[in-house]
A and B are shown apart, each in its own frame.
Chain A
Amino acid sequence: AAGVIQSPRHLIKEKRETATLKCYPIPRHDTVYWYQQGPGQDPQFLISFYEKMQSDKGSIPDRFSAQQFSDYHSELNMSSLELGDSALYFCASRGTKREGSTGELFFGEGSRLTVL
């Protein structure tokens, strides 16, 4: 079965550079979530989109932005990167009850960003 696809899996950037992470949800899932997991930390919710509209916002820095496109894939854009942005970034997708989903949240394998 198709899972959540994230790209790239690994990314190395310098301070002050820009990075873009992509997420392709499970087909027919209409909700996408972004999480940031620092070393030894629990995943922290950044932002979510439902039907291409921002639906919830967590601890996302102003330097970050995200959007969900018409094909439901999502991109997380990170600018002016700082050392503290080094983390594992997870994307997750979920179908709504309207879609006949059981409500499970499925995570991608994560994109590991290293800022030097």
Chain B
Amino acid sequence: AQKVTQAQTEISVVEKEDVTLDCVYETRDTTYYLFWYKQPPSGELVFLIRRNSFDEQNEISGRYSWNFQKSTSSFNFTITASQVVDSAVYFCALSNNQAGTALIFGKGTTLSVSS
């Protein structure tokens, strides 16, 4: 069975702090995809990144970076120099490679960035 665990329910930081959101996953599939989505207060789900299981390179996109480690089944997300606009719920998700199969979400981490 597939499972995604986001142990941090809520995180509060002050602007300009760095923050890391943890994600641990479980799957028996050898080929799978990992995702991060942002859900701002307006409610839509905003795609941030997709990583396939064969690509363990870390990725950086502006203030965002992701650390994928298969050895620990983790796909952590770091925001550098956080801003108030980063306040949102962040979901980590997992999917296998088969067409039509579901994306399984973690419970989400609510990030609050204060000025």
- Which residues of chain B in 33-76 are interfacial with respect to chain A, using CB atoms and an 8 Å cutoff? 33, 35, 37, 43-45, 47, 50, 52
Question: Judging by beta carbons under 8 Å apart, are B45 and A90 in contact?
Answer: yes
Q: Give the number of chain B interface residues (Cβ < 8 Å).
A: 22
Q: Is the interface of B mostly helix, strand, loop or mixed?
A: loop
* Count of chain A to chain B residue pairs whose CB atoms are closer than 8 Å in the complex: 61
Select which of B35, B45, B95, B100 is within 8 A of A49 by beta carbon: B100
Question: Judging by beta carbons under 8 Å apart, are A48 and B105 in contact?
Answer: no
Q: A42-B107, A90-B45, A107-B45 in contact; A55/B52 too (CB < 8 A)? A: no
Q: A42-B108, A43-B91 in contact; A107/B102 too (CB < 8 A)? A: no
CB distance from A68 to the nearest CB of B (A): 10
Give complex CA distance A31, B102 in Å. Answer: 10
Question: Judging by beta carbons under 8 Å apart, are A33 and B91 in contact?
Answer: no
Q: Give the number of chain A interface residues (Cβ < 8 Å).
A: 29
- Which residues of chain A in 41-63 are interfacial with respect to chain B, using CB atoms and an 8 Å cutoff? 41-45, 48-50, 55-56, 58
Question: Judging by beta carbons under 8 Å apart, are B102 and A45 in contact?
Answer: yes
Select which of B47, B95, B108 is within 8 A of A107 by beta carbon: B47
Extra contacts besides A49-B100, A106-B47, A110-B43 (11): CB < 8 Å: A42-B108, A48-B100, A50-B99, A50-B100, A56-B102, A58-B102, A105-B35, A105-B50, A105-B95, A107-B45, A112-B43
